[in-house]
């Protein structure tokens, strides 16, 4: 857990510095566990995100744009009633724990000034957002916890808010060497002792303290302990660390082997670390049915393709029926009505071997021949139908595979557009709901290459179609992963030759937003827009192109994250 007591202390101090005396203008609920407040403070408009997600719990100021639901849930309406228009009077950490308390002055419907407390508890699966009155009577919580679940703390309307039980640990601030050394036991793992003995230390920062001490000397560990705490309190240096998984903290973690990414502010670090993960969770929550539908359609068509291939093998016996009919006619004079089989020489075979042909005894030789010709015609027609169905099914598989890749990296806006595309194509029934505000154009992500050239990325088929066939100019450059589903990438340049930096930036984007994002040496084709054509009667975004060059690239997420992204 990187969001420990030390992190919470820094967050509370930063929030207080930025939001004190701020006015809460608007409240939105993004999901079952996320609240976003728009706050006007110190002449600036700030967006403050509260999350009680079991893996992404936090409170932060964010610069990112979020998609608001069409209809606010009940808890959101309740917060609006009690907090909108309120002034933030104080923000503080409680007991050096992962709890932050907001004190808010609010005018009720009668014009009386009221004090409300908003607590966020950042405690993994037990995280919660609790609104109380001045007497600490709970007005509502984002997660209700009844006495049947927790006899010590009931977190539901009407109950009295009680803080979680304290752990009776030593506060890490102002600890002298004598106190420190008396708490440490030689021979036992020192990082675990730090977590067990001191309030607010996570295993992550404890391991870093031991790593920086460079020895098992208690004096060295104490010096490292005080040095790390001083840096966190006086000169924090937010970093994201990328190794086998991602980490973040208020200083670089050297005990983790991986890439260190410095962040300008605490909030930039949170946006960098949390956004993609929390966004995926919101998409899963709001678009679970869409993802399941896409997967089911893909699986259904894969099974259909297998069955069609089996039927094609069986239908390829058509030529055999034709041969049997012709052999019967060639031997018509030796066949009598009532015969059930005739042995003939197969002159269609190189070896001219003899062949027994089954007959219908009730039919004449000519009628038996006609019966085999009818089977031939039926089988031949079946082959044509199966070949047609094979082509259609392969297109459907390619289409739904593309959608599966797109929704993996989709933002909420992208996901809404994927849903809209499925509705327009007739796969989903349109629902009569409040129409979302749009400017009539898909949302296109825009980046700057490492040498400052604009690059646009389509994240779904609506965006790809618009980007390539309406937005792009004929002489600009178009990139796409070779022979696999992926984004259309447009470089806004009509230069005769692109720089290597621009080519690599565009190729990285095309590889990352493709089926090959987890592969290595992904082939990326690029050509002029004028060489890219729509495939007739195909789904949106499907194209043919020519005169391409190919570059091979290893997709690098950190490279993508460090590209400048424009609004």
Contacts for 62-65 with beta carbons within 8 Å, 24 or more apart? 62/36, 62/267, 62/270, 62/271, 63/267, 63/268, 63/271, 64/271, 64/275, 65/567
Q: Are residues 270 and 310 in the same domain?
A: no
Strand partners, 221: none
CA nearest to 513, candidates 557, 473, 543: 557
Q: Where are the beta strands (DSSP E) in 250-324?
A: 259-262
Residue where a domain terminates, one of 232, 262, 284 = 284
Using CA atoms, how far apart are residues 2 and 206, in angstroms rounded to an integer?
11
Using CA atoms, how far apart are residues 70 and 434, in angstroms rounded to an integer?
7
Using CA atoms, how far apart are residues 402 and 264, in angstroms rounded to an integer?
36
Q: Are residues 269 and 394 in the same domain?
A: no
Q: Are residues 277 and 317 in the same domain?
A: no
Give me the pLDDT at residue 286, please.
76
Give me the pLDDT at residue 222, please.
95
Residue percentage of the chain with pLDDT more than 90: 69
Give me the pLDDT at residue 40, please.
97
CB 2 within 8 A of CB 94: no
Phi, psi for 45 (deg, rounded to 5)? -90, 125
Chain mean pLDDT for the chain: 91
Coil, strand or helix at 364: coil
Q: Do the strands 128-133 and 239-242 form a parallel or antiparallel pair, or are they unpaired?
A: unpaired
Whether residue 445 is predicted with pLDDT greater than 80 in this model: the reply is yes
371-397 exposure pattern, b = at least 16 Cβ within 10 A, e = fewer:
bbbebbeebbebbeebeebbeebebbb
Using CA atoms, how far apart are residues 335 and 360, in angstroms rounded to an integer?
11
Residue range of the domain that includes 535: 445-566
Whether residue 279 is predicted with pLDDT greater than 90 in this model: the reply is no
Using CA atoms, how far apart are residues 352 and 330, in angstroms rounded to an integer?
14
Coil, strand or helix at 146: coil
Give me the pLDDT at residue 566, please.
86
Q: Are residues 358 and 331 in the same domain?
A: yes
What is the widest separation between alpha-carbon atoms in the chain?
Answer: 118
Q: 6-58: per-residue pLDDT in tens? A: 999 999 999 999 999 999 999 999 989 999 999 999 999 999 999 999 889 99
Higher pLDDT, 315 or 377: 377
CB 459 within 8 A of CB 409: yes
Q: 551-564: per-residue pLDDT in tens? A: 999 999 889 988 98
Q: Are residues 235 and 327 in the same domain?
A: no
CB 259 within 8 A of CB 241: yes
Coil, strand or helix at 44: strand
pTM assigned to the model: 0.67
Beta sheet of 239-242, edge-to-edge order: 246-249, 239-242, 259-262
Residue where a domain terminates, one of 141, 165, 187 = 141
The answer as to whether 158 is a domain residue is no
Whether residue 3 is predicted with pLDDT greater than 50 in this model: the reply is yes
Length of the chain: 567
Using CA atoms, how far apart are residues 431 and 422, in angstroms rounded to an integer?
12
Give me the pLDDT at residue 534, please.
95
Q: Are residues 530 and 464 in the same domain?
A: yes
Per the rule left: phi > 0, alpha: psi between -120 and 50, beta: everything else, 343 is beta
Give me the pLDDT at residue 433, please.
45
The answer as to whether 155 is a domain residue is no
Whether residue 435 is predicted with pLDDT greater than 60 in this model: the reply is no
Give me the pLDDT at residue 431, please.
61
The neighbour count for residue 370, using CB atoms within 10 Å, is 15
Q: Are residues 127 and 9 in the same domain?
A: yes
- pLDDT class for 439, splitting at 50, 70, 90? low
Q: Are residues 250 and 325 in the same domain?
A: no
- Domain count along the chain: 4
Whether residue 210 is predicted with pLDDT greater than 90 in this model: the reply is yes
> Could you write out the three-class secondary structure of 374-408?
HHHHHHHHHHHHHHHHHHHHHHHHHHHHHHHHHHH
CB 16 within 8 A of CB 100: no
CA angle 112, 114, 116 (to 5 degrees): 160
Whether residue 440 is predicted with pLDDT greater than 80 in this model: the reply is no
Q: Are residues 235 and 270 in the same domain?
A: yes
The answer as to whether 410 is a domain residue is no
Q: Are residues 497 and 370 in the same domain?
A: no
Average pLDDT over residues 141-169: 90
- pLDDT class for 1, splitting at 50, 70, 90? low
Q: Are residues 104 and 196 in the same domain?
A: no
Q: 392-433: per-residue pLDDT in tens? A: 999 999 999 999 999 888 887 888 889 989 988 889 886 654
The neighbour count for residue 439, using CB atoms within 10 Å, is 6
Residue where a domain terminates, one of 248, 264, 284 = 284
Q: 329-354: per-residue pLDDT in tens? A: 999 989 999 999 999 999 888 888 89
Q: 464-522: per-residue pLDDT in tens? A: 999 999 999 999 999 999 999 999 999 999 999 999 999 999 999 999 999 999 899 99
């Amino acid at each position: 857990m990187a969001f420990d007591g030390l992190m919470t202390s820094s967050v509370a101090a930063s929030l207080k510095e930025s939001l004190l005396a701020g006015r809460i203008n608007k409240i939105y609920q993004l999901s079952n566990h996320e609240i976003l407040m728009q706050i006007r403070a110190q002449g600036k408009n700030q967006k403050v995100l509260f999350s009680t997600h079991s893996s992404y719990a936090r409170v932060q100021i964010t610069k990112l744009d979020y998609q608001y639901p069409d209809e606010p849930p009940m808890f959101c309406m309740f917060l609006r009633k009690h907090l909108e228009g309120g002034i933030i009077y104080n923000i503080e950490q409680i007991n050096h724990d992962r709890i932050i308390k907001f004190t808010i002055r609010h005018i009720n419907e009668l014009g009386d000034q009221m004090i409300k407390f908003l607590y966020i508890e950042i405690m993994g699966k037990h995280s919660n957002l609790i609104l109380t009155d001045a007497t600490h009577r709970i007005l509502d919580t984002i997660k209700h916890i009844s006495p049947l679940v927790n006899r010590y703390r009931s977190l539901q309307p009407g109950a009295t808010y009680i803080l979680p039980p304290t752990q009776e640990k030593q506060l890490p601030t102002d600890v002298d060497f004598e106190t420190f050394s008396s708490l440490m036991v030689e021979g036992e793992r020192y990082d675990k002792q730090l977590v067990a003995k001191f309030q607010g230390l996570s295993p992550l920062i404890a391991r870093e303290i031991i790593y920086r001490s460079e020895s098992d000397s208690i004096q060295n560990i104490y010096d490292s302990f005080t040095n790390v705490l001083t840096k966190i309190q006086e000169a924090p240096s937010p970093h994201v660390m990328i190794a086998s998984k991602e980490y973040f903290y208020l200083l670089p973690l050297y005990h983790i082997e991986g890439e260190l990414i410095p962040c300008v502010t605490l909030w930039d670090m949170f946006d960098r670390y949390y956004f993609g993960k929390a966004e995926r969770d919101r998409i899963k929550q709001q678009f679970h049915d869409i993802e399941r539908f896409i997967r089911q359609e893909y699986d259904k068509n894969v099974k259909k393709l297998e069955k069609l291939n089996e039927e094609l093998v069986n239908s390829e016996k058509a030529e055999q029926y034709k041969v049997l009919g012709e052999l019967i006619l060639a031997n018509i004079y030796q066949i009598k009505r009532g015969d059930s089989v005739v042995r003939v020489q197969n002159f269609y075979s190189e070896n001219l071997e003899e062949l027994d042909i089954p007959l219908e005894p009730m039919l004449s030789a000519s009628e038996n021949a006609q019966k085999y010709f009818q089977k031939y015609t039926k089988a031949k027609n079946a082959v044509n139908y199966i070949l047609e169905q094979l082509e259609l099914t392969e297109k459907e598989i390619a289409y739904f595979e593309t959608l599966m890749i797109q929704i993996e990296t989709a933002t909420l806006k992208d996901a809404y557009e994927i849903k809209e595309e499925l509705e327009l194509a007739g796969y989903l029934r349109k629902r009569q709901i409040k129409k979302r505000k749009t400017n009539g154009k898909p949302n296109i992500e825009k980046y700057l290459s490492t040498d400052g050239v604009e690059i646009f990325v389509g994240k779904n088929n609506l965006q790809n179609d618009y980007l390539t066939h309406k937005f792009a100019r004929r002489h600009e450059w178009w990139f796409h992963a070779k022979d696999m589903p992926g984004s259309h990438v447009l470089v806004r340049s009509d230069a005769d030759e692109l720089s290597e930096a621009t080519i690599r930036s565009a190729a990285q984007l095309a590889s990352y937003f493709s089926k090959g994002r987890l592969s290595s040496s992904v082939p990326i084709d690029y050509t002029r827009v004028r060489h890219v054509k729509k495939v007739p009667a195909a789904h949106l975004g499907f194209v043919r192109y020519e005169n391409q060059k190919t570059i091979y690239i290893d997709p690098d997420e950190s490279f993508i994250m460090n590209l400048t992204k424009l609004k």
